[in-house]
Amino acid sequence: MPLNPQFNDNIIEFVDDDDNIIYALGFDGKLKSTSNESGKLVLKNLEEDYSENQILLLNNVLTMLTKTYTKKQFAFREDVRLESLYYNQRDKKDICYISEISSNSNITGTLYHPITSQKYLYSAGNIVQMGNSYPTNLFAHSNHVTGVDFTCSFTIDFLINANEFEIFCYGNSGKARIKLGNLVIDEFETPAGGNLFFKKYQFNGGKANRKITIQTSDNFKFGGIKISDNSSLSKPISTRKKAVFMSDSFGEPAGVKAWNSFVQVFSDITGIECWASGLGGTGYINPGQNGRTNFQTRVDTDVIPYSFDYIFLAGGLNDTGDAYSAANFRNAVENTINKIKNAKPNAEIVIIGNWFPRAFENAKWDEYQYILSDIASQNNLLFIDTKDIFEGIGYIGHEQIDAIGNGNTNIYVGNPNYEDSTHPSTEGQIFLGKTLAKKFISKKIQKIL
Residue 263 phi/psi, 5-degree rounding, is: -65, -45
Residue 296 exposed, middle or buried by CB count within 10 Å (0-12, 13-18, 19+): buried
Report the SS3 class of residue 65: strand
Task: Express each pLDDT in 181-191 by its tens digit.
Answer: 888 899 999 99
Task: Express each pLDDT in 271-324 by its tens digit.
Answer: 899 999 998 889 999 998 888 899 999 999 999 999 999 999 998 888 888 889
222 band by pLDDT with thresholds 50, 70 and 90: very high
The answer to whether the CB of 231 falls within 8 A of the CB of 111 is yes
Tell me what the pLDDT averaged over the chain comes to: 76
What's the CA gap between 410 and 396, in Å, rounded? 9
What's the CA gap between 232 and 224, in Å, rounded? 14
Predicted local confidence at residue 275, as pLDDT: 95
Task: Express each pLDDT in 430-441 by its tens digit.
Answer: 888 888 988 888
- Report which of residues 423 and 342 the model is more confident about: 342
The answer to whether the CB of 357 falls within 8 A of the CB of 387 is no
43 has pLDDT over 70: no
Predicted local confidence at residue 317, as pLDDT: 84
Residue 245 phi/psi, 5-degree rounding, is: -105, 110
Helix ranges, 271-310 (H)? 295-298
251 band by pLDDT with thresholds 50, 70 and 90: confident
Q: How far does Cα 382 stand from its chain's mean position?
A: 20
The answer to whether the CB of 187 falls within 8 A of the CB of 176 is yes
Task: Express each pLDDT in 116-158 by its tens digit.
Answer: 999 999 999 889 999 999 999 999 998 877 765 566 889 999 9
236 has pLDDT over 90: yes
Task: Express each pLDDT in 93-118 by its tens digit.
Answer: 568 899 999 999 999 877 899 999 99
Domains (ranges, CATH) in the chain?
8-81 (no CATH), 97-234 (2.60.120.260), 242-448 (3.40.50.1110)
342 CB-near residues (< 8 Å, 6+ apart): none
244 membership: H or E segment, kind and range: strand 242-247
pTM: 0.76
356 band by pLDDT with thresholds 50, 70 and 90: low
368 CB-near residues (< 8 Å, 6+ apart): 316, 319, 320, 326, 329, 354
What's the CA gap between 71 and 18, in Å, rounded? 9
